[in-house]
Every structure is written in C-alpha cells, then in structure tokens.
C-alpha cells in the first residue's frame, strides 16, 4: 500500500514539473518575440531617420545649386543683356526723374514762360530732382532722350464769397471753367506744343468748393526739351499741401 502511494506522489510531482517547464518555455518564447519586435522597431526607426536625413541633405544641396545657378544667370543678364537692350544702366534708380510740389515762392520767367505757369518746389519736402533733371523758369528740363511718363495734378479752390461774386459778374451764366495743360518747349519747334489738357466746370453752386485735375501720359522727349504746367487762373491754385498740387516726370 505504501509503495503505491509513493508511486502516485511521484507521478503527481512529475506532472507538476512538466507543466511548470511548459509554462516557462511559453514565457521564454513570448519574451523572445517581444525582444525581436522591439529590435525590429528600433531598426525601422533608425532606417527611417537615415533616409529622412539623406533626403533633407539632398534637397538642401539642390536648393543651394539652384540658387547659385540663378545668381549666375542674373549676373550674366545684368552684365550683358539688360544694358544693351535698355541703352542705359540696368539699375532703374539711375534714370532721370523728378517730382515737384506746388509753392508760392517767386521765381523768374524767361520769354518762353507765361503768367499762368504754376510755380514749383524742387528740393524741400517731398520734392526732388535726380540724375540730370533740372528745374528752371518754372519748367522741367529733360537731360536724356527717351520715353517719359509725365504727370501733373493741380488742386483748385474758391471761397463762397468769391464764387458768388463770379456768379453775379457773369449774370445768368452759371458755368465757369478751369483748365490745366502740360506743354512742351523744344528746340526743333518754335512754338510751345500742347501735350495734354483737362478742364472742369465750377461755380455751379454759391458755396466753397475745391477740385483737382490730374493729367498724365507717356511721351517721347528729346534732350533739352522743357515741360511746363499752365492753368487758366493761377489765383485759384491750392498749394497749401504737397499732396494736392504736384508735377513730375521719369524715364521709362
């Protein structure tokens, strides 16, 4: 009887040991799988990082090469093509240009001038003359032949009293006109040439008024030509602010 009990106990202990061995084997297998998965993940991360770095370095190198190519092309264009095509320097800030502003200062007029020519400021405030442009005798003198954009704005104003007096003086005439012109004096033609003109109807109502006329256009000018702005009534020109009345030209 005792021997039988011992045999059964040994068999039970053997089964327990076998079950423990199988459990441990499964745990070892799972652990190895986890370790393998982690190793694969780390490998993939490293590979992706290396690939990303390679792509970024390649893009930076390509960008630098492209920028260098553009700089070389631009320098070549500036050094050769542009000056030949424009007949002038490649830098636009070296072209003749001027911007004058209205002023009450008194200046002299030669025989080509007119009492209704607007007077201008050529240095102070917003006014300037550059790269050969000259201001003399209330006119701009062109230093270089070519196509110029020429512009002028004159602001006119009148008080209610003056407007009423003008209305009464004209009796039943309700309309009063103000006119502005840009004229050119050139050595090749004895008489002043009208380039552009504009007019507006005023004094239709008996109150204070102000209005502006803007003129502008592209014209071919010869070296030595002079430009002047004339108005039909110089007493109505408003020169209280630089932004109201101005005159200028620049080479295209």
pLDDT in tens, 20-66: 677 777 777 777 777 887 877 778 777 777 777 777 776 666 666 65
What's the CATH code of the domain at 179?
2.60.120.40
Q: How far apart are CA 163 and CA 209, in angstroms?
A: 9
In terms of domains, do 212 and 103 share one? yes
CA distances from 88 to 81, 128, 151 (A): 11, 21, 23
pTM of the entire predicted model: 0.59
Residue 174's domain comprises: 92-251
Q: How far apart are CA 91 and CA 89, in angstroms?
A: 5
Contact 237, 154 (CB under 8 A): yes
List helix spans (H) across the chain.
Answer: 2-76, 82-86, 160-169
In terms of domains, do 1 and 60 share one? yes
CA 94 to chain centre: 18
Q: Domain ends where: 30, 60, 89?
A: 89
In terms of domains, do 74 and 49 share one? yes
Q: Is residue 222 classed as helix, strand or coil in its secondary structure?
A: coil
In terms of domains, do 230 and 117 share one? yes
In terms of domains, do 114 and 50 share one? no
Residue 115's contacts (CB-CB under 8 Å, 6 or more residues apart) are 109, 234
CA distances from 107 to 7, 36, 110, 116, 211 (A): 137, 96, 10, 13, 26
List helix spans (H) across 77-182.
Answer: 82-86, 160-169
In terms of domains, do 96 and 73 share one? no
Q: Domain ends where: 40, 58, 89?
A: 89
- Residue 212: predicted pLDDT: 92
Parts of the chain with a pLDDT under 70 = 1-20, 58-92, 106-115, 160-175, 203-207
- Residue 209: predicted pLDDT: 79
In terms of domains, do 75 and 97 share one? no
- Residue 102: predicted pLDDT: 93
Pairing verdict, β 246-251 and 209-221: unpaired
- Residue 161: predicted pLDDT: 58
Closest listed residue to residue 214, CA positions, set 139, 129, 155, 147: 155
In terms of domains, do 30 and 77 share one? yes
- Residue 48: predicted pLDDT: 76
Number of domains in the chain: 2
Q: How far apart are CA 236 and CA 104, in angstroms?
A: 12
In terms of domains, do 121 and 212 share one? yes
Q: How far apart are CA 73 and CA 169, in angstroms?
A: 70
Q: Domain ends where: 89, 107, 124?
A: 89
In terms of domains, do 38 and 114 share one? no
- Residue 227: predicted pLDDT: 96
- Residue 84: predicted pLDDT: 43
Q: DSSP class of residue 119?
A: P
């Amino acid at each position: 009887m005792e021997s039988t009990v011992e045999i059964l106990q040994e068999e039970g202990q053997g089964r327990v040991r076998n079950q423990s061995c199988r459990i441990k084997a499964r745990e070892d297998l799972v652990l190895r799988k986890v370790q393998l998965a982690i190793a694969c993940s780390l490998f993939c991360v490293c590979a992706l990082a290396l690939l990303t770095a390679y792509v970024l370095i390649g893009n930076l190198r390509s960008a630098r090469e492209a920028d260098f190519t553009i700089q070389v092309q631009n320098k070549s264009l500036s050094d050769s093509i542009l000056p030949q095509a424009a007949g002038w320097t490649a830098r636009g800030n070296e072209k003749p240009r001027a911007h004058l502003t209205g002023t009450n200062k008194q200046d002299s007029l030669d025989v080509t001038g007119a009492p209704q020519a607007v007077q201008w400021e050529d240095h102070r405030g917003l006014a300037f003359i550059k790269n050969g442009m000259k201001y003399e005798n209330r006119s701009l003198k062109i230093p270089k032949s070519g196509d110029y954009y020429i512009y002028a704005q004159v602001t006119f104003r009148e008080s209610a009293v003056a407007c009423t007096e003008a209305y009464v003086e004209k009796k039943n005439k309700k309309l009063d006109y103000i006119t502005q012109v840009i004229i050119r004096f050139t050595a090749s033609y004895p008489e002043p040439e009208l380039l552009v003109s504009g007019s507006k109807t005023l004094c239709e109502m008996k109150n204070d008024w102000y209005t502006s006329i803007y003129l502008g256009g592209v014209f071919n000018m010869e070296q030595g030509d002079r430009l002047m702005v004339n108005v039909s009534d110089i007493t109505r020109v408003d020169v209280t602010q630089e932004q109201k009345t101005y005159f200028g030209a620049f080479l295209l």
